């Protein structure tokens, strides 16, 4: 990934031209010097000629690589700020994100309260009269988990749950151990579950079967057994079990019961301790009975919501700022400045961001349907601002409209859902697509990296060609050096001969 902005193409071209001109001049000087005979540095001559051809091509390829590395950095920067903006919208996309009621409970040890966006402020009296419990029945003890309960004979169990008899559970001969019985009951899936526990009480029979039914009074159950005795006769012994399987009185046994809670004087009976339908928009998790009636106060607190809107504004402006940095040819910011000058993707992301907050919500409220009505606006330069007073008024006077406009009163919609989801839900979808695996940012980045791989291969091919060219030049110039040296030697010899002849004829 690039760490500096890409140099201008004109500067790169000028540098390459200067280098090529200097190399040609040096080569010409060496060629001229050949007339002087031996002593010419033919290796330098060959290298300079190769460099004159190689450098401009190498610089051009490196400039393309640097530009693509810069693009990758620019796309990474946009992806990061778009992801942060997506997080800010996601924090406001669900109806449950607007659960702004603060609960004050005078008996928090007896029950807990959680609220949703549909809850309303007010005071309530809550009295927990009884908790929902499941029937728990415990057998008498066994010496081990593998001891036969019915002399290794066949036996059958019948469970009646909520007054309805379930299909008989048959155990074949040799499968009548406590562990076999537990496994068979659980495999039957009647609503009653079984477990085998080792009490470790030091007695001769520390193993016990524990049966647990569904929670609530309707989950009460009974067990009857049918078994084959040692003498071969059959017998049924309802409720008390076979000769070796009995469920007698035990202090740990528990009777199935429903939860009972009184809310503002009205008594509700449920088969669970998590009550979602007795107080509109709120969930009561019962823990124990109250001491008299508890006072519950629900007061709306929008401070957390305001922080989410502020975070949205900050993220939006951060994204706008980064888009300006990567697009500005004069930017000097390290790593990211001027990395996407003239890039159409940067322009399209800017346009997309404006569409996220402009116009009317696809799930408008009756009085609130736009962002500006909630105090959010964008100026001509693309900077978002928040009018806190207007947001406070919208939350105070038209809270339900704000929720509907932002979320479409939906919860948990994915980025692939097509259901109308308000400003925040729609923004989450568009931004998730932008920064996702198939999004334009990652695709463009991968394309740039693919191009650079090809450019690196081009550099390798160029290096190979230049190595071959250098070898050829060295061979040619070495031959030329040898020829020139020979000619110069002949010239010296002839000159000496002529000088000798002249001396004979001139007596000099």
> What pLDDT score was predicted for residue 476?
83
Of the candidate ranges 38-47, 283-292, 481-490, the one whose mean pLDDT is the lowest: 481-490
1-14 burial, b at 16+ Cβ within 10 Å, e below that, comes to: ebeebbeeeeebee
Cβ proximity of 213 and 138 under 8 Å: no
Torsion of the alpha carbons at 10, 12, 18 and 21, rounded to the nearest 10? -100
Per-residue pLDDT, averaged over 402-425, amounts to 94
Residue 62 has pLDDT above 80, yes or no: yes
- Whether the model clears a pTM of 0.75, i.e. scores above it, the answer is no
> What pLDDT score was predicted for residue 500?
61
Per-residue pLDDT, averaged over 322-338, amounts to 91
> What pLDDT score was predicted for residue 15?
60
List 267's β-bridge partners, or say none: 262
Residue 34 has pLDDT above 90, yes or no: no
Residue 5 has pLDDT above 70, yes or no: no
Q: Which tops the pLDDT comparison, 319 or 119? A: 319
Q: Which tops the pLDDT comparison, 491 or 28? A: 491
Per-residue pLDDT, averaged over 52-57, amounts to 92
pLDDT of 344-403, one tens digit each? Answer: 999 999 999 999 999 999 999 999 999 999 999 999 899 999 999 999 999 999 999 999
Cβ proximity of 79 and 346 under 8 Å: no
Of the candidate ranges 92-101, 227-236, 242-251, the one whose mean pLDDT is the lowest: 227-236
- Closest residue by Cα to residue 405 from 425, 389, 386, 388: 425
What DSSP line would sit under 151-187, residue for residue? TT--EEEEEEETTEEPPPEEE-TT--SHHHHHHHHHH
- Closest residue by Cα to residue 296 from 116, 128, 97: 128
The model's confidence at residue 421, banded by pLDDT at 50, 70 and 90, is very high
Q: How far is CA 504 from the centre of its chain?
A: 104
**Distances, alpha carbon 254 to alpha carbons 134, 138, 141, 219, in Å:** 7, 9, 18, 12
> What pLDDT score was predicted for residue 35?
44
Residue 245 has pLDDT above 90, yes or no: no
> What pLDDT score was predicted for residue 231?
47
User: Which residue carries 């207007």 as its tokens?
Assistant: 390
The model's confidence at residue 478, banded by pLDDT at 50, 70 and 90, is confident
Of the candidate ranges 241-255, 334-348, 462-476, the one whose mean pLDDT is the lowest: 241-255
> What pLDDT score was predicted for residue 61?
94
DSSP conformation class of 364: -
pLDDT of 268-303, one tens digit each? Answer: 999 999 999 999 989 999 999 999 999 999 998 889
Dmax over CA atoms of the chain, in Å, equals 159
Per-residue pLDDT, averaged over 457-479, amounts to 89
User: Which residue carries 């929008």 as its tokens?
Assistant: 302
The model's confidence at residue 237, banded by pLDDT at 50, 70 and 90, is very low
Dist. CA 20–CA 53, nearest whole Å: 7
Q: Which tops the pLDDT comparison, 482 or 121? A: 121
List 170's β-bridge partners, or say none: 156
The HSE-up count of residue 81 (CA atoms within 13 Å, CB side) is 24
Residue 213 has pLDDT above 80, yes or no: yes
Dist. CA 347–CA 489, nearest whole Å: 73
Dist. CA 241–CA 244, nearest whole Å: 8
Residue 9 has pLDDT above 50, yes or no: no
Torsion of the alpha carbons at 235, 238, 240 and 244, rounded to the nearest 10? 30
> What pLDDT score was predicted for residue 222?
94
Per-residue pLDDT, averaged over 483-499, amounts to 66
The model's confidence at residue 503, banded by pLDDT at 50, 70 and 90, is low
Per-residue pLDDT, averaged over 408-415, amounts to 93
Dist. CA 160–CA 169, nearest whole Å: 12
Residue 190 has pLDDT above 90, yes or no: yes
Residue 193 has pLDDT above 80, yes or no: yes
**Count of beta carbons in the 10 Å neighbourhood of residue 387:** 14
> CA angle at residue 487 from 486 to 489, to 5 degrees?
65
What DSSP line would sit under 301-320, residue for residue? --HHHHHHHHHHHHHHHHHH
By CB atoms closer than 10 A (0-12, 13-18, 19+), residue 508 is exposed
Of the candidate ranges 183-192, 220-229, 452-461, the one whose mean pLDDT is the lowest: 220-229
> What pLDDT score was predicted for residue 6?
40
Domains and CATH numbers, the chain: 9-94+304-442 (no CATH), 101-132+258-300 (no CATH), 134-236 (2.60.40)
The model's confidence at residue 230, banded by pLDDT at 50, 70 and 90, is very low
> What pLDDT score was predicted for residue 240?
39
């Amino acid at each position: 990934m690039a760490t500096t902005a890409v140099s201008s193409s004109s500067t790169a071209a000028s540098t390459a031209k200067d280098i090529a001109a200097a190399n040609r001049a040096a080569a010409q000087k060496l060629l001229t010097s050949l007339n002087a005979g031996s002593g010419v540095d033919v290796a330098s001559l060959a290298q300079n000629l190769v460099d004159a051809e190689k450098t401009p091509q190498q610089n051009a390829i490196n400039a393309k690589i640097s530009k693509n590395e810069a693009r990758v950095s620019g796309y990474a920067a946009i992806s990061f700020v778009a992801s942060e903006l997506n997080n800010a919208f996601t924090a406001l996309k669900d109806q449950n994100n607007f659960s702004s009621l603060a609960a004050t409970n005078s008996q928090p040890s007896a029950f807990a309260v959680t609220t949703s966006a549909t809850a309303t402020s007010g005071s309530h009296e809550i009295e927990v009269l009884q908790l929902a419990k499941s029937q728990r029945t415990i057998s008498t003890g066994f010496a081990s988990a593998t001891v036969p309960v019915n002399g290794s004979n066949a036996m059958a169990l019948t469970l009646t749950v909520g007054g309805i008899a379930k299909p008989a559970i048959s155990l074949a001969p040799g499968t009548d151990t406590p562990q076999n019985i537990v496994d068979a009951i659980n495999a039957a899936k009647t609503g009653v579950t079984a477990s085998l526990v080792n009490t470790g009480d030091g007695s001769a029979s520390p193993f016990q079967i524990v049966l647990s039914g569904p929670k609530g009074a309707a989950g009460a159950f009974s067990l009857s057994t049918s078994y084959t005795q040692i003498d071969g006769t059959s017998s049924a012994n309802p409720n008390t079990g076979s000769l070796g399987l009995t469920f007698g009185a035990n202090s740990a046994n528990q009777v199935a019961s429903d939860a009972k809670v009184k809310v503002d004087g009205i008594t509700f009976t449920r088969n669970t301790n998590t009550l979602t339908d007795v107080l509109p928009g709120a969930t009561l998790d019962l823990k124990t009975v109250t001491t008299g009636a508890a006072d519950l106060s629900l007061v709306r607190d929008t401070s957390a919501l305001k922080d989410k809107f502020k975070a949205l504004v900050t993220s939006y402006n951060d994204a706008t700022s980064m888009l300006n940095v990567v697009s500005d040819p004069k930017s000097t910011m390290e790593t990211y400045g001027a990395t996407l000058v003239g890039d159409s993707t940067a322009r399209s992301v800017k346009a997309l961001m404006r569409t996220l907050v402009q116009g009317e919500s696809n799930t408008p409220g009756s009085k609130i349907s736009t962002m500006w009505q909630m105090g959010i606006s964008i100026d001509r330069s693309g900077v978002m601002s928040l009018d806190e007073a207007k947001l406070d008024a919208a939350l105070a006077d038209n809270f339900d409209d704000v929720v509907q406009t932002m979320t479409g009163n939906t919860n948990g919609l994915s980025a692939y859902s097509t259901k109308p989801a308000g400003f925040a839900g729609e923004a989450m979808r568009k931004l998730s697509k932008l920064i996702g695996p198939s999004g334009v940012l990652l695709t463009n980045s991968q394309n740039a990296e693919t191009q650079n791989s090809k450019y690196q291969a081009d550099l390798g091919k160029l290096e190979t060609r230049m190595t071959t060219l250098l070898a050829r030049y060295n061979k040619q110039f070495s031959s030329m050096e040898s020829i020139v040296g020979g000619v110069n030697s002949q010239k010296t010899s002839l000159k000496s001969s002529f000088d000798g002849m002249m001396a004979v004829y001139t007596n000099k």
